[in-house]
Amino acid sequence: DVKVTQSSRYLVKRTGEKVFLECVQDMDHENMFWYRQDPGLGLRLIYFSYDVKMKEKGDIPEGYSVSREKKERFSLILESASTNQTSMYLCASSPLMGQGNQPQHFGDGTRLSIL
Amino acid sequence: QKEVEQDPGPLSVPEGAIVSLNCTYSNSAFQYFMWYRQYSRKGPELLMYTYSSGNKEDGRFTAQVDKSSKYISLFIRDSQPSDSATYLCAMLPGGYNKLIFGAGTRLAVHP
């Protein structure tokens, strides 16, 4: 079974703090993704990565950055947290396209509150 | 107009009912169609995955894709209280790995 592990289930931070959300997958997947999920807005893609040190902006990258130094690990960084970044953050992974169009597998999410 | 439309519900049904969940889409390039189930305070879990038009069955679940109408459905037979969750449809164009999600439908199955 694919296992995507997010380091924290719940996190409370203060406005202006630099926040790191960590995600690790154990299936040697090339692709990794960060989403946020908000009521009424569904899942929105923040950033994705298709290889180590590679990254692509998603639909809402403003205020975020990412880091992928190792294949299994993908970090989301909130450079200066703001209250409108309070949300559920979901990490996902999938194999490379050439291995068949495999769907994404998700972690259990990090519920982040910015005070 | 959103690329994928999904009625958010909530949908409330009695135990044992047949449930029909639906999504419509506008992009004819979508070729891969998925249904995810998300329990409260958990991440989405892949339920069904289909390619192009047709039906796919897995136990009590049937996924149906009608590309000519740009319409996909998930049927749940003999629904159980444990099926109570939010169901998300998702789609993928061929040759591209960026999933497009519906907003999700909240389902409640009551005993």
Q: Which residues of A touch B104 (CB under 8 A)?
A: 42
Cα distance between residue B26 and residue B77, in whole Å: 28
Q: How far apart are CA B9 and CA B73, in angstroms?
A: 15
Contact B42 A50 (CB under 8 A): no
Query: What pLDDT band is residue A103 in, cutting at 50, 70 and 90?
Result: confident
Chain A nearest-CA residue for B86: A42
Mean pLDDT (chain A) is: 91
Nearest Cα residue to A82 out of A59, A64, A58: A64
pLDDT confidence bin for B51, thresholds 50/70/90: confident
Across A54-58, B21-25, B90-94, least confident range? B90-94
The two most distant CA atoms of chain A are separated, in Å, by: 43
Tens of pLDDT, residue by residue over A77-89, are 999 999 999 999 9
How many Å lie between the alpha carbon of A14 and the closest alpha carbon of chain B? 22
Output the pLDDT for position A39: 86
Single out the residue of B55, B34, B105, B44 nearest to residue A35, CA to CA: B44
Question: A101: which chain B residues are within 8 Å (Cβ-Cβ)?
Answer: 31-32, 51, 92, 94, 97
Q: Do A42 and B45 touch (CB under 8 A)?
A: no
Confidence at residue B96, expressed as pLDDT on a 0 to 100 scale: 63
Contacts of B99 in chain A (CB under 8 A): 45, 103-104
- Put simply, whether B31 touches A (Cβ < 8 Å) is yes
Q: From residue A115, how far is each of A35, A79, B92 by CA, in Å? A: 21, 15, 36
Q: Which residue has the higher pLDDT, B2 or B28?
A: B28
Looking at beta carbons, which residues of chain B come within 8 Å of A103?
Answer: 32, 34, 46, 49, 90, 92, 99
Q: Is the pLDDT of residue A2 over 70?
A: no
Tokens (6 digits) for B1: 């107009």
Residue A9: predicted pLDDT: 93
Short-list A114, A92, A90, A86, CA closest to A17:
A114
Contacts of A4 (CB under 8 A, 6+ apart): A23, A24, A25, A91, A92, A93, A105, A106, A107, B43
- Given a contact cutoff of 8 angstroms between Cβ atoms, the answer to whether B19 and B75 are in contact is yes
Greatest Cα pair distance in chain B: 44
3-state helix, strand, coil in chain A (%, to 5): 5, 50, 45
Could you say which of A45, A90, A109 has the minimum Cβ distance to residue B98? Answer: A45
